[in-house]
Structure 1
Amino acid sequence: MTMGLDLDFTTVLERWQSLLDGAVLTLELALMATVLGAAIGVLGAIGRGSASRAVAGACGFYVEAIRNTPLLVQIFLVYFGLASIGLKLSAFTVAATALTINVGAYTTEIMRAGFDAIPRGQIEAAEGLALSRVQIYWHIILLPAVERVYPALTSQFVLLMLASSVTSQISAEELTAVANYIQSDTYRAFETYILVALIYVVLSLVMRTGFWGLGLVLFPRRRRLGTPL
């Protein structure tokens, strides 16, 4: 006796508005965490190279604590931790906070690698030209460092968007949570997750294209040289 695969996407596609809303919320989570996480990463990388052992140690502890624990556990810690002290925040806010904390640690290490790649001679030359500390950090260290690690940064941010699926565990209404609701209503789990997988592919391509375009704007030198971003 053979069994055929009976695929029916009709009932799933009828809920396209819910899938679209979930996809939009997924992008919102990813973009918010990307912006805030990038800021944390830059500050964390500066802190890790600080002459203060306390600051460098605190930044190092943060990075190691995040990189050596699962994202889902971090989400639960934020979710239940804030609730235990009386802060009743929405699932979206908690999810964005946890994702920001997570990606901030990974961005810290990526940016630290970028800072380490800047030749010491360039910094000394800038100091010899009497540039201020802010000018040195911005023009000599930060911008060249970001340019060097930009591909790694963008890949990390796309991975963050994909990892946001675990926030469905705290009822954040992102794409995977919507898919869970749809398959429980339609009993078409296989069809639902096929569509969701395709949507995640599209979201990844959208983000990568966006980062590619941003790179063309931020790094005109690479655009002139034809260097891949």
Structure 2
Amino acid sequence: MNYVFEFSQVFEAWDELLAGALRTLWLSAMSMAIGLIVAVLGALGKANGPVWLRWIIDGYIEIIRNTPFLIQIFMVFFGLPAIGIRLEADQAALLAMVINFGAYGIEIIRAGIESIHKGQIEAGRALGLKPLQIFRLVVLKPAVQAVYPSLTSQFILLMLNSSVCSAIAASELTAAGNDIQARNFRSFEVYFVVTAMYLVMSMFFWGVFAWVERAFLARPASR
């Protein structure tokens, strides 16, 4: 084996990798926040909405869950201009990630809502809670507690899937790695470092999610 590893050529472009990583974190965090809103509203509509709304939501879920994420990105970035909607690469990446997560998130949140016993809702009404209070305190929080591991796993998968956004030249980590590799041709070194950075970002998000669970979702200790 005569290959000589030259990581120095990669670290010379560290500022580009760091900027790409920060952009990945931003895209991921924004798509998680907006996607969670879509998921909660969609799950609520699917659970309590009229038949026509449930059909629309079911159609959206099936289309997104049964098509490749890459094709969804292309539809947003290359397809929307056909109807007069033009987005920058990062905007298209964010929209595609929100749409993708929303479909999976709706089913996760819906499963959590359906796990709530109807007696708890009746108890909330008996206590005089308003409908919004019942949904927020009696339904939504216990539902999120029940599905939190699945929800956070989907968040991490969303962050990792952001690498596909490099196909439309979104300014995230993989795109930065591709640009550096195209200049120095050090494929192994570049993608080894990029892989390590994705691992670090995944651990960062796991840490944040663990803190959120302890701070806001921890169940009272049983006696």
Is the pair's TM-score, using the shorter chain for normalization, greater than 0.5?
A: yes
Q: 2:35·2:98 contact (CA, 8 Å) conserved in 1?
A: yes
Aligned twin of 1:138:
136
Instruction: Report sequence identity in percent.
Output: 45
Aligned twin of 1:30:
28
Q: TM-score w.r.t. structure 2 length?
A: 0.95
State the alpha-carbon separation in 2 of the partners of residues 6 and 152 from structure 1.
42
Aligned twin of 2:121:
123
Structure 1, 116-125 or 185-194: larger mean CA deviation = 116-125
Within the candidate set 102, 111, 114, 1:113 is matched to 111
Within the candidate set 71, 78, 81, 1:80 is matched to 78
Aligned length: 222
Within the candidate set 169, 186, 191, 1:171 is matched to 169
The answer to whether residue 217 in structure 2 is matched with residue 219 in structure 1 is: yes
Runs of 4+ in 1 over 6 A off after TM superposition: none
Query: 1:195 deviation in Å?
Result: 0.4
Query: 1:90 deviation in Å?
Result: 1.2
Query: 1:4 deviation in Å?
Result: 3.2
Aligned residue for 1:89, secondary structure, equals coil
Per-residue CA distance 1:114-134 (angstroms, 9 max, x = gap): 001111111122223332211
Query: 1:216 deviation in Å?
Result: 1.5
Per-residue CA distance 1:144-180 (angstroms, 9 max, x = gap): 1011111111111011000000000111010001111
Within the candidate set 146, 149, 168, 1:148 is matched to 146
State the alpha-carbon separation in 2 of the partners of residues 7 and 70 from structure 1.
35
Within the candidate set 94, 97, 107, 1:96 is matched to 94
Aligned residue for 2:3, secondary structure, equals coil
Query: 1:215 deviation in Å?
Result: 1.4
Aligned residue for 1:143, secondary structure, equals helix
Structure 1, 121-130 or 187-196: larger mean CA deviation = 121-130
Aligned residue for 2:87, secondary structure, equals coil
The answer to whether residue 171 in structure 2 is matched with residue 209 in structure 1 is: no
State the alpha-carbon separation in 2 of the partners of residues 166 and 202 from structure 1.
18
* Structure 1 alignment gaps of length 5 or more: none
Structure 1, 142-151 or 127-136: larger mean CA deviation = 127-136
Aligned residue for 2:48, secondary structure, equals coil
* Structure 2 alignment gaps of length 5 or more: none
Residue 174 of structure 2 aligns to which amino acid in structure 1?
Answer: T
Q: 2:116·2:143 contact (CA, 8 Å) conserved in 1?
A: yes
Residue 9 of structure 1 aligns to which amino acid in structure 2?
Answer: F
Per-residue CA distance 1:38-69 (angstroms, 9 max, x = gap): 00000010111125101111111111111011
Residue 141 of structure 2 aligns to which amino acid in structure 1?
Answer: L
State the alpha-carbon separation in 2 of the partners of residues 102 and 42 from structure 1.
14
Matches within 5 A, 1:7-26: 7-26=5-24
Residue 183 of structure 2 aligns to which amino acid in structure 1?
Answer: D
Q: TM-score w.r.t. structure 1 length?
A: 0.93
Residue 20 of structure 2 aligns to which amino acid in structure 1?
Answer: G
Per-residue CA distance 1:191-219 (angstroms, 9 max, x = gap): 10000000000000001101111111112
The verdict on how the C-alpha distance between 1:51 and 1:88 changes in structure 2, with shifts beyond 3 A counting, is: closer
